[in-house]
Structure 1
Amino acid sequence: MNSRYLEGECTRLSHVFQCFIARNQALQIFFSSSP
């Protein structure tokens, strides 16, 4: 594996992680605002 590939994987994983965090926060807001 070359460093270019690993760099791309790291970027992709961090993007997926950020999406996961954002969706988690959105769910928390949704559930906390619902009666």
Structure 2
Amino acid sequence: MGKEIKKIAILTGGGDCSGLNAVIRSVVKTAITKYG
């Protein structure tokens, strides 16, 4: 068996917040660090 695939989802409203890109980047980097 191979490595288990893990998924996350981030839903945005599209242009609601000017700092949303930084938040998404942080979530992705944290997920990669924590879950591989």
Range of TM-score over shorter length: 0.3 to 0.5
Rg comparison, structure with higher value = 1
TM-score of the superposition, structure 1-length normalised? Answer: 0.48
Whose helix fraction is larger, Structure 1's or Structure 2's?
1
Q: Which has the higher contact order (CA 8 A, sep 6+)?
A: 2
